[in-house]
């Protein structure tokens, strides 16, 4: 099976590399060509446009920054739909809103292709380790056909049904994660200002019902002022915004998510967009 991959950022590059390590021939494209070089060295072939990737591959995967990028790559000039042939598959693993997924799905199907949305839960390390959680929806035949490739990138996958449900599920997951990080930063700030031992606080949290991998992994780095990016802060704010829009559309009140979003917006305004989302701690008390 010939596989393609477009979007080789923090997440996409290691995901694509895992496909190569799994024995697949890979054709790839990225807006910034320099990002392709490590994968070229690993055996992948670089294409000039997304359309070329789609025209040459049985299934093309995408991991893009936001809805605007997802629409541009799929629907724009020399995009996926310009190269997709009948029966070929397009799997968009970006985190977008359900409307964007729906629009791309309609366009893919109009040219005879099959569409699967498959956003992932996880950051850089799980992407590198192939332990992402994949939240798929759309064409079930493509889901089954892509299963082997998906399993090279993730440790768990689920099929949520029709297009849009995977996008909605991912937004719920990230909304919860953003709220947790906001509360975590508030707690660390309150402990610090109370002259409590924040390292001991991390140990106490980890020993009880609040113990979780995010606090366990991020906490010591945050106390050390290390915000090396695994999941950019700007992307978390984007996901919170999309979750709030979904809540508005469904008339679901999301006050906690709204407060968390406000905190991330302040962090963006402070210039922390490209730091890890845990850098919210830097502006928590502003």
Instruction: Give the chain as a DSSP string.
Output: --EEEE--STTHHHHHHHHHHTT--EEEE-SSGGGGHHHHHTT-EE-SSHHHHHHH-SEEEE--SSHHHHHHHHHSTT-HHHHPPTT-EEEE-S---HHHHHHHHHHHHHTT-EEEE--EE--HHHHHHT-EEEEEEE-HHHHHHTHHHHHHHEEEEEE-SSTTHHHHHHHHHHHHHHHHHHHHHHHHHHHHHTT--HHHHHHHHHHSTT--HHHHHHHHHHHTT----SSBHHHHHHHHHHHHHHHHHHT---HHHHHHHHHHHHHHHTT-TTSBGGGGGGGTT-
Whether residue 253 lies in the annotated active site: no
What span, in angstroms and rounded, lies between the C-alpha atoms of 119 and 137?
A: 9
The catalytic position among 21, 170, 234, 238 is: 170
Catalytically active residues are 170
């Amino acid at each position: 099976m010939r596989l393609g991959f477009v979007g080789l950022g923090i997440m996409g590059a290691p995901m694509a590399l895992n496909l190569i390590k799994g024995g697949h021939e890979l054709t790839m494209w990225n807006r910034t060509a320099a990002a392709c070089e490590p994968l070229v060295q690993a055996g992948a072939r670089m294409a000039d446009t997304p359309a070329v990737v789609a025209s040459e591959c049985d299934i093309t995967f995408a991991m893009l920054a936001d809805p605007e990028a997802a629409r541009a790559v799929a629907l724009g000039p020399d995009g996926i739909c310009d190269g997709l042939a009948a029966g070929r598959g397009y799997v968009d693993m970006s985190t977008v809103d359900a409307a964007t997924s729906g629009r791309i799905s309609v366009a893919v199907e109009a040219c005879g292709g099959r569409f699967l949305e498959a956003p992932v839960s996880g950051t850089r390390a799980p992407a590198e380790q192939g332990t992402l959680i994949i939240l798929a929806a759309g064409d079930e035949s493509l889901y089954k056909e892509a299963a082997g490739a998906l399993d090279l990138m993730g440790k768990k996958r689920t099929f949520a049904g029709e297009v849009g449900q995977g996008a909605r599920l991912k937004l719920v997951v990230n909304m919860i994660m953003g709220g947790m990080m906001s509360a975590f930063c508030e707690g660390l700030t309150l402990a610090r200002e109370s002259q409590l031992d924040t390292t001991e606080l991390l140990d106490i949290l980890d020993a009880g019902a609040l113990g979780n991998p995010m606090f366990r992994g991020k906490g010591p780095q945050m106390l050390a002022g290390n915000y090396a990016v695994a999941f950019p802060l700007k992307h978390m704010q984007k996901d919170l915004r999309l979750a709030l829009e979904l809540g508005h559309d469904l008339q679901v009140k999301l006050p906690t998510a709204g407060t968390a979003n406000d905190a991330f917006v302040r962090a963006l305004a402070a210039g922390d967009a490209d730091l890890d989302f845990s850098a919210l701690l830097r502006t928590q008390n502003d």
